[in-house]
Copies of this chain bind each other. A is one copy, B any other.
Amino acid sequence: MPLTANNAKFMIAPMLSVRNGAQAIEFYQRALGAQVRFRVDGEGGSVVAELSAGDSVFWLADESPEHQNFSPESLGGSSVRMVVTTDDPDGMFQQAVAAGATIVWPVEDQPYGWRVGRIADPFGHHWEIGRPLSK
């Protein structure tokens, strides 16, 4: 089965909508060791940025509800959570909390076969940090 109609290759990366993107970049640098690959600062202090963290890339941008880009704070919740797979969920979890994240539930062995915990970052996005117990 072709990946697309014409076998084009593609990559998918999530773009997190936040309030105060500049602060969010600093948080993800501290929490995840993220590096800034691309950043544009717009009028009024808004930011669009592409970050790399671990083996992955994600984007963040200040929310713009007029363009249907809503922060979790505006919606009262998040429609996408971020799943982090790492050999050291306990260490990454602690680092994120030290950087300012809030514990939703701590890192524990779960009956579905993962050692995993969940945090909310200061911008309302939720992150599950874990590893498969079989590995």
Contact pick for A91, options B5, B32, B94, CB 8 Å: B5
Do the beta carbons of A53 and B14 come within 8 Å of each other? Answer: no
Copies in the complex: 2
Contact pick for A79, options B4, B6, B55, B75, CB 8 Å: B75
CB distance from A115 to the nearest CB of B (A): 13
Do the beta carbons of B54 and A3 come within 8 Å of each other? Answer: yes
Do the beta carbons of A13 and B86 come within 8 Å of each other? Answer: no
Contact pick for A86, options B4, B79, B125, CB 8 Å: B4
CB distance from A90 to the nearest CB of B (A): 10
Q: How large is the interface on A (under 10, 10 to 19, 20 to 34, 35 or more residues)?
A: 35 or more
Contact pick for A15, options B10, B75, B80, B112, CB 8 Å: B80
Do the beta carbons of B33 and A3 come within 8 Å of each other? Answer: yes
Q: Which residues of B are found within 8 Å of A56, using beta-carbon distances?
A: 10-13
A133 proximal to B (CB < 8 A): no
Do the beta carbons of A33 and B2 come within 8 Å of each other? Answer: yes
**Using a CB–CB distance below 8 Å, which chain A residues touch chain B?**
1-6, 8-17, 32-33, 35, 40, 53-56, 58-59, 65, 68-72, 74-88, 91-92, 94-95, 104, 112, 124-126, 128
Q: Which 9 A-B pairs have the closest CB atoms?
A: A10-B86, A10-B54, A80-B80, A8-B88, A12-B56, A3-B33, A14-B14, A70-B77, A75-B75
